[in-house]
């Protein structure tokens, strides 16, 4: 199997001599196209909210999603099943998945009652998987809730800090919100600090889509614990536009990498006129260097060679003649769209729908000819027109988070398939959705 490769692609292939320059650089870790024959073993805790508000179809769909995960695990995987309401119940302690019926019987027994001890439920799930962390397996807590954490610890920052501490120890957290009343700020904070994924469903029927995506991703991993290190000359200033967290030594934490995808970041470098050269063309200036570290599926640490970007400087007439890289421009626009959506979410929570409409108009203008970004803005506008504060807040935040941290389709993968063929199907974790809270009933391509 080929190894992931690191690339640096500038938005413009040269500096404008004698002027201050602002240059966007796409840093991408590109996965191989092929998947491993044997996926990495999974060590999962499925933690389900069974509070009173889950009664009826929501709980039925949550149980169906849990059964879906169990059915796809094998004897090399481990799973635990936890439910919570006002208290927490361990239905199946962490065990190898050799007796699936044991899990299915426990899932069928879950009924709704009580309040929402979300933190306690998550903590028990984490406690179940922690003793079984291994370098050659992948450990994650999968948490579902439809309500506010109202029993036990409820402070968002403290819960997120605990998720981050466990992520450092090897336990990641993915969160699934359902409906209108869960706390999106908490669920997003947990998944971000916990280095997992964040999903939500508007209705119970929408839940299966993200569960399938999560399992497809976990089944296709080729690199985990990806860390990005950047450096520039002291005269330059660089900032990562994605909202990635940084570890204790300043490395950016990128998403785990799956077959056919690329983990990426846009780095905006500000270059003073004194550094941009005199237009010699053949003289190249060092702009930015990048290196990554990651673990493969056997837990072996890899640190590929550092990649350096050097660019010539051109006089104005020559610089104007060079084309910008459309892929880099598109990713930068995507991150701008994400920022606009977060601003619109905050405005909606203030009840300032006039500001929301102005921001969405700006988002459509920013989308240019990008049908996907335009479609996302249009879907948000529909919700804004309904003055649905809860729904708008969730959709805008989840969409913005996804744009900041999604796996994109790697160029080597797009070159290997016919994107125009009706039979072409992208892996679910590479698809771009117009609405995060709705099931992707029509499979969209990147």
Same domain, yes or no: 89 and 183? yes
Residue 111 has φ and ψ, to the nearest 5°, of: -125, 170
Task: Let me know: does 295 contact 302? Beta carbons within 8 Å.
Answer: yes
Count of structural domains, the chain: 3
Same domain, yes or no: 238 and 204? no
**Residue 201: inside a domain, yes or no?**
yes
Report d(CA 219, CA 42) in Å as an integer.
Answer: 9
Q: Is 258 exposed, middle or buried (0-12, 13-18, 19+ CB in 10 A)?
A: buried
Count of CB atoms within 10 A of residue 111's CB? Answer: 11
Same domain, yes or no: 215 and 227? no
Task: Let me know: does 51 contact 112? Beta carbons within 8 Å.
Answer: yes
Same domain, yes or no: 284 and 399? no
**Residue 285: inside a domain, yes or no?**
yes
Residue 27 has φ and ψ, to the nearest 5°, of: -100, 125
**Residue 9: inside a domain, yes or no?**
yes
Same domain, yes or no: 199 and 251? no
Same domain, yes or no: 192 and 245? no
Strand 78-84 versus strand 42-49 pairing type: parallel
Count of CB atoms within 10 A of residue 386's CB? Answer: 10
Nearest residue to 178 via CA among 318, 319, 41, 53: 53
Same domain, yes or no: 189 and 292? no
Q: Is 352 exposed, middle or buried (0-12, 13-18, 19+ CB in 10 A)?
A: middle
**Residue 437: inside a domain, yes or no?**
no
**Residue 446: inside a domain, yes or no?**
no
CATH code at position 237: 2.60.40.10
Domain closes at, from 266, 286, 321: 321
Same domain, yes or no: 85 and 208? yes
Tokens 């203030």 found at: 350
**Residue 435: inside a domain, yes or no?**
no
The whole-number pLDDT of residue 282 equals 79
Task: Let me know: does 309 contact 8? Beta carbons within 8 Å.
Answer: yes
The whole-number pLDDT of residue 436 equals 94
For residue 411, give its domain range.
326-430
Same domain, yes or no: 351 and 376? yes
pTM beyond 0.85, yes or no = yes
CA 279 to chain centre: 41
Report d(CA 356, CA 348) in Å as an integer.
Answer: 6
Same domain, yes or no: 215 and 70? yes
The whole-number pLDDT of residue 443 equals 46
Report d(CA 266, CA 273) in Å as an integer.
Answer: 22
Task: Let me know: does 194 contact 164? Beta carbons within 8 Å.
Answer: yes
CATH code at position 104: 3.40.50.410
Domain closes at, from 203, 219, 235: 219
In three-state form (DSSP H/G/I as H, E/B as E, the rest C), the secondary structure along the chain is CCCCEEEEEECCCCEECCCCEEEEEEEEEECCCCCCCCCCCEEEEEEEECCHHHCCHHHHHHHHHHHHHHHHCCCCCEEEEEEECCCEEEEEEEEECCCHHHHHHHHHCCCCCCCCCHHHHHHHHHHHHHHHCCCCCEEEEEEEECCCCCCCCCCHHHHHHHHHHHHHHCCEEEEEEECCCCCHHHHHHHHHHCCCCEEEECCHHHCHHHHHHHHHHHHCEEEEEEEEEEECCCCCEEEECCCCCECCCCCEECCCEECCEEEEEEEEEEECHHHCCCCCCCCEEEEEEEEEEEECCCCCEECCCCEEEEEEEECHHHHHHCCCCHHHHHHHHHHHHHHHHHHHHHHHHCCCHHHHHHHHHHHHHHHCCCHHHHHHHHHHHHHHHCCCHHHHHHHHHHHHHHHHHCCEECHHHHCCCCCCCCCCCCCHHHCCCCCCCCCCCCCCCC
Domain closes at, from 191, 219, 247: 219
Give me 200's structure tokens: 């939500």
Give 38's contacts (C-beta < 8 A, 6+ positions apart): none
Residue-wise pLDDT tens digits, 44-62 = 999 999 999 898 888 999 9
Nearest residue to 210 via CA among 60, 70, 331, 68: 68
The whole-number pLDDT of residue 108 equals 95
Strand 138-145 versus strand 42-49 pairing type: parallel
Identify any residues that bridge with 24 across adjacent strands, giving them in sequence order: 268
Same domain, yes or no: 368 and 269? no
Report d(CA 132, CA 44) in Å as an integer.
Answer: 10
Same domain, yes or no: 49 and 186? yes
**Residue 387: inside a domain, yes or no?**
yes
Task: Let me know: does 252 contact 246? Beta carbons within 8 Å.
Answer: yes
Give 184's contacts (C-beta < 8 A, 6+ positions apart): 177, 200, 393, 394, 397, 398
**Residue 260: inside a domain, yes or no?**
yes
The whole-number pLDDT of residue 415 equals 61
- Counting every residue written for the chain, the total comes to 446
The whole-number pLDDT of residue 442 equals 52
Q: Which residues of the chain have pLDDT under 50?
A: 420-423, 443-446
């Amino acid at each position: 199997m080929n190894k992931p490769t690191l690339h640096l692609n500038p938005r413009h292939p040269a500096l404008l001599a004698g002027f201050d320059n602002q240059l966007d650089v796409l840093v991408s870790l590109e996965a191989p196209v092929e998947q491993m024959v044997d996926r990495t073993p999974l060590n999962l805790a499925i933690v389900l909210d069974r509070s009173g508000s889950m009664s009826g179809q929501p709980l039925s769909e949550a149980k169906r999603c849990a059964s879906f995960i169990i059915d796809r695990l094998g004897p090399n995987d481990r799973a635990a099943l936890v439910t919570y309401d006002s208290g927490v119940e361990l239905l199946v302690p962490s065990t190898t998945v050799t007796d699936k019926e044991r899990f299915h019987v426990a899932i069928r027994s879950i009924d709704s009652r009580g309040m929402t001890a979300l933190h306690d439920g998550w903590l028990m799930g984490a406690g179940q998987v922690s003793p079984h962390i291994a370098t050659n397996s992948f450990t994650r807590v999968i948490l579902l809730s439809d309500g506010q954490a109202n029993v036990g610890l409820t402070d968002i920052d403290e819960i997120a800090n605990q998720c981050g501490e466990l992520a450092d120890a090897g336990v990641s957290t993915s969160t699934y919100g359902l409906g209108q009343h869960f706390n999106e700020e908490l669920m997003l904070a947990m998944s971000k600090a916990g280095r997992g994924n964040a999903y939500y469903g508007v209705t119970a029927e929408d839940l299966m889509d993200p569960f399938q995506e999560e399992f497809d991703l976990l089944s296709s991993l080729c690199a985990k614990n990806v860390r990005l290190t950047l450096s520039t000359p002291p005269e330059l200033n660089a900032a990562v536009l994605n909202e990635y967290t940084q570890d204790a030594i300043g490395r950016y934490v990128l998403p785990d990498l799956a077959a056919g995808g690329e983990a990426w970041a846009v780095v905006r470098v500000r270059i003073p006129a004194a550094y941009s050269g005199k237009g010699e063309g053949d003289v190249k200036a060092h702009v930015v260097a990048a290196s990554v570290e990651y673990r493969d599926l056997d837990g072996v640490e890899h640190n590929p060679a550092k990649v350096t970007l050097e660019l010539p400087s051109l006089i104005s007439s020559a610089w104007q003649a060079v084309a910008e890289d459309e892929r880099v421009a598109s990713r930068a626009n995507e991150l701008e769209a994400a920022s606009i959506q977060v601003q619109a979410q905050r405005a909606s929570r203030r009840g300032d729908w006039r500001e929301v409409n102005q921001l969405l108009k700006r988002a459509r203008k920013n989308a240019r000819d990008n049908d996907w970004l335009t479609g996302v803005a249009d879907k948000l506008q529909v919700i804004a027109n309904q003055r649905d504060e809860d729904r708008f807040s969730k959709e805008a935040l989840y969409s913005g988070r996804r744009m900041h941290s999604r796996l994109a389709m790697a160029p080597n993968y797009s070159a290997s398939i016919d994107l125009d063929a009706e039979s072409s199907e992208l892996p679910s974790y590479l698809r771009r959705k117009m609405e995060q809270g709705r099931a992707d009933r029509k499979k969209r391509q990147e």
